[in-house]
A = this chain, B = another copy of it.
C-alpha cells in the first residue's frame, strides 16, 4: 500500500477497467498497444498497491424489486446519555456507526459537514419497507435525534468510474 507512481499508461488501463472490469488482459493489452505480459504486470501492481480496490458486478436494483432509493440525513445526540457507560468509551457516534454496518438496506454512510451529521443512502423495495426501516431501526436507535429524508425520483447519471483522465 506504499505510495505509488501512476503514469499515463496506468491511467489508460484504469480507465478501461473502470468501464469494463471483465476484459481479458489480452484485450486490454491490445487497446493500449502493449503486449500482454507488461500489461498484466501493471494491472497486478495496481491491484496490489490498492489503487484498484476490487472488481464487482453491478446489478439493476429495479429488476431485483428494489424500487425505492432514499437519501436520509441523520442528526445524532452529542452528549452522553444515561445508557452510555462513562468508562466504556463508546460514543453515540460509535454506536450509530456499528448499527449502520448491520443494516443491509444502508448501502452507503458518510459523516458530513453541515447541520446534519450523517448521510445515508438507503435502498429498499418500497415505501412500506422504508417506513419500517426508519421507525424500527433508525428512530429506534438511542443515538438518533432527527432524520430528514429525500427520495430519488430519477437517476440521470450514476457511475462508479472516477474522473482520472
**Residues B112 and A152 in contact, CB atoms below 8 Å apart:** yes
Chain A contributes a number of interface residues (CB within 8 A of B) equal to: 59
**A67 and B110 alpha carbons, distance in the complex (Å):** 14
Given known contacts A57-B55, A63-B50, is B20 in contact with A151 (CB within 8 Å)? no
**Residues A111 and B154 in contact, CB atoms below 8 Å apart:** yes
Partner of A64, one of B51, B101, B151: B51
**A123 and B150 alpha carbons, distance in the complex (Å):** 21
Q: Which residues of B contact A139 (CB under 8 A)?
A: none
List 3 A-B pairs, minimum CB-CB distance, nearest first.
A17-B57, A104-B163, A22-B55
Q: Which residues on A are within 8 Å of B, measured CB to CB?
A: 4, 6, 14, 17-22, 49-61, 63-64, 66, 69, 71, 97, 100-101, 104-114, 116, 119, 123, 150-164
